[in-house]
Amino acid sequence: MTPEPSPHPAPAGPAPDVAGALEGKRILITGATGFLGTNIVERLLRCVPDCEVVLLIRPGRRSTVDQRLRREVLRNDAFDRLRNELGTDAFDALCDRRVSAVAGDVTTNGLGLDDAGQAVLASCDVVIHSAAAVSFDSPLDAAVEVNLLGPTRIVETLGSLGVTPHLVAVSTCYVAGSRRGNAPEQHVADSPWFVDLDWRSEVDAARRARRDAEADSRTPERLEGFRSDARREIGAAGTPLLAARTEQLRARWVADRMVEAGRSRAASVGWPDAYAFTKALGERALLENRGAVPVSIVRPSIIESALAEPFPGWIRGFRMAEPIILSYARGLLKEFPGVPEGVVDVIPVDLVTAAILTVAARGPLDTSDVVQVASGVANPLRYRRLVDLVSGYFTQHPLYDRKGQPIVVPTWSFPGRGRVQAQLKRANDTLGRAERALSALPLRGRQAQWSADVETRREDVERALGYVELYGAYAECEALYEIDNLLALVDAQSDEDQRTFCCDPRVVDWDDYVRTIHLPSVVTHARVRTTAGADRGPDRTERLRRQVLAPERHLAAFDLENTLIASNVVSSYLWLASRHLTGTDRLRLVADALRSAPGWLSMDRRDRSDFLRYFYRRYDGAPLDQLRADADGLLSDLLLARAFPGAIRRVREHRRLGHRTVLITGALDVVVEPLRPLFDDVIATELGTDAGRFTGELLSAPPTGETRAQILMDYADAHDCDLGESVAYADSTSDLPMLEVVGFPVAVNPETRLSALARKRGWLVENWERANGSPRGVLPLSGRWSDDRSRTPLLRRLVNASGSRSDDAGRTKAARR
């Protein structure tokens, strides 16, 4: 519904004919891979005949600017309308003729342009600068380099080239700061509320804060803390992974420090966050340094999905409101701060694009040239009304939980931000303590899921707390952004331009926009569950399982302990050691095991390889022939009795499909030798021998941690297997290196840490159980049975059932190779 227009002062210069004024012009755009930039490119290609579009794009680490242009810009669904109208071939030809990319970076002096890039920039008629660090929680120095210095670098580069194209710089209405009342379309330095800051000093301070944070993060105390946190998170995963995770935690700590520095500095001088703060200083620096370059500033409020162009609901990535909306719809945000009668100033992206292009077509003004694109004054959307619309929509169209039950959305009472933050912080602390307590317990499999569930809940609370801290100030904002200059542009538009380049916020029917355009688009892009009842198709676990067992897989590598069997090296040792003991000696063995168990567990958690080296010294002097003779008994009495039938079936299934199978274990080779018929190959720990007895010393590094991963890589190379098409099964974070080198990792009966990591990374998790009636004794001591082979039929049946690879499977493998 469009209200009766009121008269506004006409802008200086003739009424713009947007398409005609920009036709044939060369227009350079920064930020084209972003939300607003993509919309600008699409509108120019579709609505402005024969203009040439040049995109300043930063080269990727592994991609050229042309590759990024095709992949990140032109393949976006924003161009589907034009692609469908023209046909794919004609669309590609149009892009080849009218769109080009130059390598550059607004965070680099001179924009990082080579001679060819400088020549292109010098030939441009209009520059639209939409590149920005738009995250409200950007590190301070990153926001300074992009938002504050980016526009200045553009005008300085133009000045050095001796050219003066019209620069349309995109800023934000929130440069007005945390204020109440009207915010006019004026330069920030002209505002009576502007804190007079030296932007150069702020640049120096931000860079110094980064250097200080980097130095602080490298002190011995900090590094030890990061290493302890890494070990607590991934356990005995090996030195390389531990080092990598330690460095990740250090870098994240520095980034968090810089984010907090941005928030604190912005709040101290009257801005809600580093984004608005650096945008405000960026405007001031731009006007000081523009020289002869004509500059227009366009300030949108909060940009959201498209009203109509290129199609209703088009959005690229989630903006400010979407994470909050989805968390609310999932029942995760029980409360959120805000002023119910306040205005939520949002504006559809296509209206912002139309305003930018209208300003570009009109050309620069001699006077202050600031245009705010906002809705709060002419067509306000009240916060309570928005909440009611969202609540009503998700009451009528609820999301569904994993069990197919509708999620009931909460009712917000609009408490203060401090109260909500305090509630969430208390909940986060409580869940953190529960998570640490569960992580200390020896849980695995389905029991380990308890800890993962607590971690998930804690992450939900942390996410909610982050939203409150990031966006709470915007929900409580009571500034009203005047749009006199914008409405003057609207009044001066022709009827055709008002249809093709509509930038009038009064045309938005908020009830219709929220309920029928924006929220359906958000739900579609979030890929959340919107249907009731159990899934009719395969669930996520079944889909992952099908991928793991696809015929095109090459190799399947298995750990042994707690992956194939519910046993470990201590259990095997106790069985073998008690095999020929009686009475007092057995009691002594049991007492020693019980006394040593806590130390063994602690050592194993610190470093699996060190534990195995230490523990296998107990085999010093053990007769090799006797252990070989006892191995079959160990297999049937302990290993097979504690085997997971599902695991054995999985090995056989891989072999039936023609996949190569290998067992890589830290167990002794003499212990696992009877399992060899199950696999193509077995790689195990080997002990040195002397005069027929073990020395207790390893012949090589035990196959654990990064050593196991290297063994698997060497094995795959030797057998011409692609690890990206291979599978690995393991139960512990000490096996992370092996799991991470394959394309299809599987966590089996995972301990707590691995359970959490597998969930985060979307890995398949298998919870295999022992057969009913299998022994459950705490101490796996050997029974006193003679050296006949009465139990070998069990082994023989296992071998025969598994068999060697069938001829069909062999042919499958040969065809694959």
Residues 6+ apart with CB under 8 A from 528: 326, 329, 330, 399
3-state secondary structure 622-671: CEHHHHHHHHHHHHHHHHCCCECHHHHHHHHHHHHCCCEEEEEEEEEHHH
Check residue 631 and give its pLDDT. Answer: 81
Question: For residues 682 and 692, what is the distance between their CA atoms, to the nearest angstrom?
Answer: 23
Question: For residues 736 and 721, what is the distance between their CA atoms, to the nearest angstrom?
Answer: 20
Q: What value does the mean pLDDT take over residues 793-800? A: 35
Q: What value does the mean pLDDT take over residues 267-284? A: 92
Q: Which H or E element spans position 689?
A: strand 687-690
Q: Are 234 and 733 in contact (CB under 8 A)?
A: yes
Q: How far is CA 62 from CA 57, 58, 74, 724, in A?
A: 14, 12, 19, 19
Q: Confidence class of residue 797 from pLDDT cuts 50, 70 and 90? A: very low
The answer, yes or no, to whether residue 805 has pLDDT greater than 50, is no
Q: Confidence class of residue 776 from pLDDT cuts 50, 70 and 90? A: low
Helices (H), 218-292: 220-234, 239-268, 274-289
Residue 482, classed as helix, strand or coil, is coil
Question: For residues 575 and 669, what is the distance between their CA atoms, to the nearest angstrom?
Answer: 16
Check residue 114 and give its pLDDT. Answer: 93
Same fold: 1-197+269-301+345-376+482-503 with 545-769+792-816: yes
Per-residue pLDDT tens over the stretch 252-261: 999 999 999 9
Q: How far is CA 286 from CA 117, 187, 280, in A?
A: 22, 11, 10
Q: What value does the mean pLDDT take over residues 317-330? A: 76
Tell me yes or no: is domain 545-769+792-816 CATH 3.40.50.1100: no
Check residue 242 and give its pLDDT. Answer: 87
Q: Which H or E element spans position 765?
A: strand 764-766
Q: Are 624 and 693 in contact (CB under 8 A)?
A: yes
Q: Supply the mean pLDDT for the chain.
A: 84
Q: Which tokens belong to 361?
A: 């077509």
Tell me yes or no: is domain 1-197+269-301+345-376+482-503 CATH 3.40.50.1980: no
Question: For residues 581 and 593, what is the distance between their CA atoms, to the nearest angstrom?
Answer: 15
Name which of 463-472, 493-502, 707-716, 791-800 the model is least confident about: 791-800
The answer, yes or no, to whether residue 798 has pLDDT greater than 60, is no
Check residue 141 and give its pLDDT. Answer: 94
Check residue 469 and give its pLDDT. Answer: 67
Check residue 447 and give its pLDDT. Answer: 60
Question: For residues 109 and 91, what is the distance between their CA atoms, to the nearest angstrom?
Answer: 35
DSSP state of 367: S
CA proximity to 817, closest of 743, 742, 728, 719: 719
Check residue 470 and give its pLDDT. Answer: 65
The domains of the chain are located at 1-197+269-301+345-376+482-503, 208-260, 316-343+378-477+511-535, 545-769+792-816
Instruction: Give Cα 270 to chain centroid, integer Å.
Output: 32
Question: For residues 20 and 24, what is the distance between their CA atoms, to the nearest angstrom?
Answer: 9
Per-residue pLDDT tens over the stretch 146-197: 999 999 999 999 999 999 999 999 999 999 888 788 888 888 877 766 778 9
Check residue 92 and give its pLDDT. Answer: 94
- Return the number of other C-beta atoms located less than 10 Å from residue 380's C-beta: 17
Q: Are 94 and 74 in contact (CB under 8 A)?
A: no
Check residue 580 and give its pLDDT. Answer: 77
Check residue 773 and give its pLDDT. Answer: 62
Name which of 28-32, 274-278, 448-452, 728-732 the model is least confident about: 448-452
Question: Over pLDDT 90: what percentage of the chain?
Answer: 49
757-775 burial code (b ≥16 CB/10 A, e <16): bbbeeebbbbbbebeeeee
The answer, yes or no, to whether residue 783 has pLDDT greater than 60, is no
Check residue 595 and give its pLDDT. Answer: 85
Q: Confidence class of residue 789 from pLDDT cuts 50, 70 and 90? A: very low
Q: What value does the mean pLDDT take over residues 72-79? A: 93
Q: What value does the mean pLDDT take over residues 315-332? A: 77
The structure's pTM equals 0.78
The answer, yes or no, to whether residue 518 has pLDDT greater than 80, is yes
Check residue 557 and give its pLDDT. Answer: 95
Q: What value does the mean pLDDT take over residues 89-104? A: 94
Check residue 780 and give its pLDDT. Answer: 63
Per-residue pLDDT tens over the stretch 372-431: 999 999 999 988 898 899 899 999 999 888 778 888 888 877 776 677 777 777 777 777
Residues 6+ apart with CB under 8 A from 314: 39, 77, 78, 305, 306, 349, 350, 521
Q: What value does the mean pLDDT take over residues 435-448? A: 63
